Chains A and B, each alone.
Chain A
Amino acid sequence: MVQFVVDVLIRAVDLALIAIGLSSVYSLIRFPNVALVQYATTGALLALCLQMAGLPLVVAAIAACALVGIIAVVLNVIVFERLLRAGSAIAMIGSLALSMMFSAIFLVTAGPRPKRFELEINPPLRFLGARLTEHQLMSVGISALAIIVFALILFRTDLGRCMRATATNSVLASATGIDTRKVTNTVVFLSGVMAALGGIGLSVKGEMSAQLGLDMLLPVFAAAILGGLGNALGAAVGAVVIAAAETMVTNVNFGPLFGASVLFIPAAYATAASFLLLVVVLLIKPYGLFVSEVKRV
Chain B
Amino acid sequence: MRRAVIAFTAFLGALFILLASPAWAEGESLRGTLQNQGQPVNGVKISVTSGDGQPVGEATSDAEGKWEVPVPAAGSYKVTLDQATLPAGTVLKFKDRATLTVQVFEGNYRNVLFALASGDAAGGATEPDSGGSRSAFWTRVAQLAFEGLSLGLIIALGALGISLIFGTTGLTNFAHGELLTVGAFIAFVLNTTVGLHLLIATPLAVIIAAGFGYGQERFFWGPLRNRKTGLVSMMIISIGVAMFLRYLLLFLFGGENVPYEQYVAQDGIELGPIFTTPKSLIAMGIEIAVLIAVGLALTFTRLGKATRAVSDNPALAASSGINVDRIVRIVWAMGAAVAGLAGIMLGTTQILNFQMGQQILLLMFAGVTLGGLGTAFGALVGSLVVGMFVQISTIWIAPELKTVGALAVLILVLLVRPQGILGRRERIG
A and B pair up: no
Residues on B lying within 8 angstroms of A by beta carbon are none
Interface residues of A (CB under 8 A from B): none
